[in-house]
DNA sequence: ACGAGTATGGAAAACGTTGCTCAGCATAGA
DNA sequence: TCTATGCTGAGCAACGTTTTCCATACTCGT
């Protein structure tokens, strides 16, 4: 068996092999100005022959690391996978490598993870649905180029990409109202923080729901269960709503996973969907389109959101003092088999 | 508005502030030998007061980066999320930070991603179900401590953690045979490479299926559709199997996602589950336990696999010449509502 | 033929850590 | 009292890049 670690090939080895200076090699690596085509070719060949790969650590000490960090609050939420696909697709062909920081539920874990990415001198950060205080986000964005996805409210420090959640909620309410429903209930994610009440998607969806209900003359039927955006939250929320008399004829869950929990509670109560009650979700995740479930859901086009985020981030890395941009995408409704005309009673 | 970047706090600032040398600070940071409690306290305080955080890039240049890289072939496979939970849980409380490299389907993308992690001088790698050639894996493992998860076959260079897929397949076949099934078909992931045929879980599951069928005296009923471990693969595989005469009374899909595709094809054919046909999957992912689906599935305990992988990796980082270890976990069967006694004909 | 301007390529100083070597200084043993 | 021994803490040289200068060697217009 040969030696375990034959020492790393460095830029110095390449320079020696190509009979040029390390400066020259560095220039070629970065496509920087001041290298003739002849030298460029010579260096490229030496790189290939030696199988040289630049050390990101050394690069990070001086310049860029060519690394983009993406914070994902919950790997199990398939919608985030769509966003990530958009990011990687947009970044394919560039020198950037995407790395994901996992499992940051809660403000404290989120802070640790963001710090870890900053410590690793990443070139840019994409924060998906962060829950941190706004001041904290601004502080982070001042240190490193940052794009915030899925949170409303502008900031002088970072770009943001979000879906128009108010419009998304309205799509659902209108769809259900058009089907003749009046007792349309909503399951929301409980929120207390004042800033988050204005910025988090869940709060906006609840606002949109209330607003749309009023617009349709259904103000009297507004009915909200306040739990959390989890499977269990949906289960408990639906149980609570079903216990009311008269019970709602339709439930708008704030997220697909919540809708699934609601479906489970409804099945347990011996009711049928959509015969007895209609259910709609939000996110149009892979689950929603799965045949046996076939959940009516609001589609956010996560891929597009991810692609926009990556584009904004690359632009901001190029020019840090650029004017911040807010992108807001319009959702559409994917109508499937969990919603139907209200049954005649 | 204040200055955008107030310059990084370095170990030198801390040393000056605490009136000690940088060496001393470094020692405290690493809990290294040779620092008195008094100095330790002084330095800790300076670190806290200045809000100092070590630069991973600079550390990486000299020693460790305190970063563990995890390669995940497909974010949408929820089973991998379980493995990741196990890894992060095991690593919680240590100084290691986990970073995930996404979207490495195919040997070429996988190679790029692994190189990217090596370039970033990560301290250790967890490769989940890698498809690379074995020589390549050994080469990687020689450069950086590596644990391979979900691939059989030992190596002198890396530790590995896998589920006993042969036993898992047998669990399913026995369960179905006990229910009276004889025409039990299997949907496998098509594999051509010779080494992978021996090492990849999909191949082992197919082997286990064949072996168990023979053991139960059902050799004559062995029936395999060879597609891929995807939703669509399950759909196509089931369609193919259903077209046979007589058609199978049970389908063992090699993965949960495959089972879901199969369920869709079965529903489309107007058949009922488990009335007309039983279906079982593999992985016991979150989907399988979801009420309305309730899929019988083999449980691999991904969390345990992840925890084992992390433990092995930390040990190997501590001692690179340690003897490689192979951990093999025994799967269990989660029986749910998609399997039932064969209907009398 | 001369000077100004323009490519081209190199030397050397960072960047923020870690680990090696070594000096100072008590304390213990002879 | 003198040396051997341990322990603390400091100085300094890596680590592998990037980047800022600077020195050439050309080109071109006069």
Option in B65, B78, B88 nearest A102 (CB): B88
Query: What is the CATH architecture assignment of B11-54?
Result: Orthogonal Bundle (1.10)
Q: pLDDT category, B1, cuts 50, 70, 90? A: very low
Quick check: B105 and A103 in contact, CB under 8 A?
A: no
Angle between helices A231-242 and A256-268 (to 10 degrees): 50
pLDDT value of position B248: 96
Of A100, A104, A289, which to mutate for an interface test with B (greatest number of B Cβ within 10 Å)? A100
Long-range contacts (CB closer than 8 Å, 24 or more residues apart) made by B112-115: B113/A97, B113/B71, B114/B71, B114/B140, B115/A53
Mean pLDDT of chain A: 92
Q: How many CB contacts within 8 angstroms connect chain A with chain B?
A: 133
pLDDT value of position A335: 96
Of A291, A306, A322, A336, which to mutate for an interface test with B (greatest number of B Cβ within 10 Å)? A291
pLDDT value of position B2: 42
Is there a shared CATH topology between the A11-54 domain and the A165-300 domain?
no
Stated in angstroms, how far is A24 CA from C5 C1'?
A: 23
Taking contacts as CB-CB distances below 8 angstroms, the residues of chain A near B120 are 56-57, 65, 67, 99, 120
pLDDT value of position B3: 44
A58-69: average pLDDT: 92
Option in A65, A100, A291 nearest B267 (CB): A291
Taking contacts as CB-CB distances below 8 angstroms, the residues of chain A near B52 are none
Option in A59, A115, A268 nearest B53 (CB): A115
Judged against a pLDDT cut of 60, whether residue A86 lies above it is answered with yes
Topology of domain B67-163+302-328 in CATH is: Rossmann fold (3.40.50)
Give the domain ranges of chain B: 11-54, 67-163+302-328, 165-301
Pick the CATH number of A165-300 from 3.40.50.2300, 3.40.50.10800, 3.40.190.10, 3.10.20.740: 3.40.50.2300
Half-sphere exposure of A298 (CA within 13 A, CB side): 29
pLDDT in tens, B203-254: 999 999 999 999 999 999 999 999 999 889 999 999 999 999 899 999 999 9
Give the E-state strand segments of chain B in sequence order.
Answer: 67-71, 97-101, 124-128, 146-149, 159-163, 184-189, 223-227, 250-253, 278-283, 296-299, 326-329, 332-334
Stated in angstroms, how far is B28 CA from D7 C1'?
A: 16
Q: How many helices (H) and strands (E) does chain A have?
A: 14, 12
pLDDT in tens, A289-321: 887 889 999 999 999 999 999 999 999 999 888
pLDDT value of position B192: 84
A76-84: average pLDDT: 88
Give the CATH number of domain A67-163+302-327. Answer: 3.40.50.2300
Taking contacts as CB-CB distances below 8 angstroms, the residues of chain B near A320 are 4
pLDDT value of position A1: 42
Q: What is the DSSP letter of A254?
A: S
pLDDT in tens, B126-144: 999 999 999 999 999 999 9
pLDDT in tens, B35-68: 788 888 888 999 999 999 999 999 999 878 999 9
Half-sphere exposure of A198 (CA within 13 A, CB side): 6
B96-103: average pLDDT: 92
Written as six digits, the tokens of B163 are 């589920």
Mean pLDDT of chain B: 91
Option in A61, A78, A267 nearest B291 (CB): A267
How far apart are the C-alpha atoms of A290 and A338, rounded to whole Å?
12
Stated in angstroms, how far is A49 CA from D25 C1'?
A: 30
pLDDT value of position A252: 98
Least confident of A136-145, A247-256, B150-159, B187-196: B187-196
pLDDT value of position A6: 61
Q: From residues 49-88 of A, list those within 7 angstroms of strand D by Cβ.
A: 52-55, 58-59, 61-63
Judged against a pLDDT cut of 60, whether residue A138 lies above it is answered with yes
Shortest Cα distance, chain B CAs vs residue A191, angstroms: 26
Stated in angstroms, how far is A99 CA from D4 C1'?
A: 55
A115-131: average pLDDT: 95
Nearest nucleotide from residue B22 CA, by C1' atom: D10
Judged against a pLDDT cut of 60, whether residue A339 lies above it is answered with yes
Written as six digits, the tokens of A182 are 């009046």
pLDDT value of position B344: 62
pLDDT value of position A161: 97
How far apart are the C-alpha atoms of B191 and B188, rounded to whole Å?
9
Judged against a pLDDT cut of 50, whether residue B270 lies above it is answered with yes
What is the DSSP code string of B113-175?
HHHHHHHTT-SEEEEES--S-HHHHHHHHHHS-EEEES--S--SS-EEEEE-HHHHHHHHHHH
Q: Is B61 (CB) below 7 Å from strand D?
A: yes
What is the bridge-based pairing of β-strands A67-71 and A124-128?
Answer: parallel
Q: pLDDT category, A2, cuts 50, 70, 90? A: very low
Query: What is the CATH architecture assignment of B165-301?
Result: 3-Layer(aba) Sandwich (3.40)
How far apart are the C-alpha atoms of B231 and B47, rounded to whole Å?
52
How far apart are the C-alpha atoms of B227 and B235, rounded to whole Å?
9
- Cα Dmax for chain B: 88
pLDDT in tens, A186-200: 999 998 888 788 889
Nearest nucleotide from residue A34 CA, by C1' atom: C8
Those nucleotides of strand D lying less than 7 Å from any protein Cβ are: 7-12, 14-20
């Amino acid at each position: 068996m040969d030696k375990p670690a034959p020492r790393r090939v460095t830029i110095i080895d390449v320079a020696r092999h190509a009979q040029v200076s390390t400066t020259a090699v560095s220039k070629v690596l970065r496509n920087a100005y001041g290298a003739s085509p002849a030298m460029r070719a010579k260096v490229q060949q030496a790189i290939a022959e030696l199988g040289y790969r630049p050390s990101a650590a050394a690069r990070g000490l001086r310049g860029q690391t060519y690394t983009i960090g993406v914070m994902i609050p919950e790997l199990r939420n398939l919608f985030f996978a769509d966003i990530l696909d958009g990011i990687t697709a947009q970044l394919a062909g560039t020198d950037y490598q995407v790395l994901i920081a996992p499992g940051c539920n809660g403000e404290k874990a989120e802070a640790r993870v963001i710090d870890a990415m900053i410590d690793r001198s990443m070139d840019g950060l994409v924060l998906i649905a962060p829950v941190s205080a706004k001041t904290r986000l601004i502080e982070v964005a001042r240190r490193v180029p940052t794009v915030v996805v899925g949170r409303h409210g502008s900031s002088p420090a970072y770009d943001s990409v979000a879906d128009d959640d108010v419009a998304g909620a309205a799509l659902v309410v209108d769809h259900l109202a058009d089907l003749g429903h009046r007792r349309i209930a909503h399951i929301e994610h409980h929120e207390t923080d004042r800033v988050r009440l204005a910025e988090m998607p869940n709060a906006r969806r609840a606002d949109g729901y209330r607003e749309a209900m009023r617009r349709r003359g259904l103000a009297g039927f507004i009915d909200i269960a306040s739990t959390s955006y989890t499977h269990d939250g949906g289960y408990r929320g639906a149980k609570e709503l079903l216990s009311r008399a008269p019970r709602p004829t339709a439930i708008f869950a704030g997220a697909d996973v919540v809708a699934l929990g609601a479906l489970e509670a409804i099945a347990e109560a011996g009711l049928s969907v959509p015969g007895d009650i209609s259910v709609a979700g939000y996110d149009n995740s892979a689950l929603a389109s799965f045949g046996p479930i076939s959940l009516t859901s609001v589609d956010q086009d996560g891929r597009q959101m991810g692609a926009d985020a990556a584009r904004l981030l690359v632009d901001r890395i190029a020019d840090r003092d650029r004017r911040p941009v807010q992108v807001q995408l319009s959702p559409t409704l994917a109508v499937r088999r969990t919603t139907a005309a209200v049954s005649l009673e």
